[in-house]
Structure 1
Amino acid sequence: MMVQISLIALLVVVYVILSRFLKSSVALLGRSKSANEVRITYVSKMLNLGFTAVFVLLVCLVLGIGYGQLAIFFSSVFAVVGVALFAQWSILSNITASLIIFFGFPYRVGDWVKVVDKDDEILGQILEISSFHVIIHRLSGDVVTYPNSLILQKAVVRFANKEAAQAMSQFSVKPAEDEATAPPPM
């Protein structure tokens, strides 16, 4: 019994230390990528939730709860969650894509990008990378809300500045003074 209490105390200490390390690491990485504070908090909470589940699993094993009992419990939970999320699989994929974008997306808020899409030109400046969408302000002035799961599946071109993006646009963007000096159409 004393061994179990010691192991649980050790697990709690390790959990607290690793939890703080995880939170500070995510915050440091988020700030280095110029991520929004709300987004940093969201990613930190999502990772902490998974870390807490592993901690609870380890405590259950230390307490002597059998593998069979844990397997039945977790398979039941996963079955219920799976059925609940089956109809909303796009939400789950966007949440997963959000975590991937946070850690591995090479573009930041303020970058000029073009999402290579055959149906529409999505070229503009990234305004926000949220939990479910990347919000892009297009050259034409409108705002596109592009799902995270789709932006990971498409090629994305990053431009050095607005002028380089305008040069690659399939739509001609002319300054107002050029239109005034242009010859009238025949």
Structure 2
Amino acid sequence: MMVQVALIVLLIVAYAIVSRLLKSSIALLGQRKSVNEVRITYVSRMLNLGFTAVFVLLVCLVLGIGYGQLAIFFSSVFAVVGVALFAQWSILSNITASLIIFFGFPYRVGDWVKVVDKDDEILGQIIEISTFHVIIQRLSGDVVTYPNNLILQKPVVRFTNRDAAQAMSQFSPKDS
């Protein structure tokens, strides 16, 4: 019994330390990449949620709850969540894409980009990267809300400035 209590205390201390390190690392990475503070908080919460699930799983194992009981519980939870998200799979894929964009997207707010899309020219300046969308303001002033999961699937060209982007436009530039 004392061993279990000691392990649980050790897990709690480790959880607190790793949770703070995770939060500060994400904040530091977000500041280095000039990411909006709201996105930093969102990513931090999402990763902390996953870390908390692992912590709860470890505590259950230390308390002696069997693998079979945990497997039944977690498979039931995942089944309910899976059914709920199946109808809205694009929401889940956009959330996942948002995490990928946070850690590995080579473009930032303020960059001039062109999303290579055969149906439409999406060329402009990134004005925001949110949880579900990358918001691009076109040269004409129109605003395009482009889903995160699609921007990861399409080639994106980055330009050094507005003039370089305007030179690549397939449409005649309007007076600025």
Distance in 1 (CA, whole Å) between partners of 2:62 and 2:37 is: 37
Q: Which residue of 1 aligns with 2:159?
A: 159
Aligned length: 176
Q: Which residue of 1 aligns with 2:108?
A: 108
- TM (norm. structure 1) is 0.93
- The structure number with the bigger radius of gyration is 1
**Unaligned residue ranges in structure 1 (runs of 5+):** 177-186
Give CA deviations for 1:71-118 in whole Å, capped at 9, x if unaligned: 000000000000011100000000000000000000000000000000
Distance in 2 (CA, whole Å) between partners of 1:92 and 1:69 is: 27
The alpha carbon displacement at 1:174 in A equals: 4.8
What's the Cα RMSD here?
Answer: 0.8
Q: Which residue of 2 aligns with 1:88?
A: 88
- Cα pair distance change 1:65/1:162, threshold 3 Å: same
Q: Which residue of 2 aligns with 1:99?
A: 99
Alignment partner of 1:64 is 2:64 = yes
Counting aligned pairs with the same residue, the percent is: 86
The alpha carbon displacement at 1:140 in A equals: 1.2
The alpha carbon displacement at 1:175 in A equals: 3.7
Q: Secondary structure at the match of 2:114?
A: strand
Distance in 1 (CA, whole Å) between partners of 2:80 and 2:91 is: 16
Q: How does 1:1-80 map to 2 (within 5 A)?
A: 1-80=1-80
The alpha carbon displacement at 1:138 in A equals: 0.2
Distance in 1 (CA, whole Å) between partners of 2:163 and 2:171 is: 13
Distance in 2 (CA, whole Å) between partners of 1:144 and 1:175 is: 20
Distance in 1 (CA, whole Å) between partners of 2:30 and 2:143 is: 24
Q: Which residue of 2 aligns with 1:137?
A: 137
Moved over 6 A (4+): none
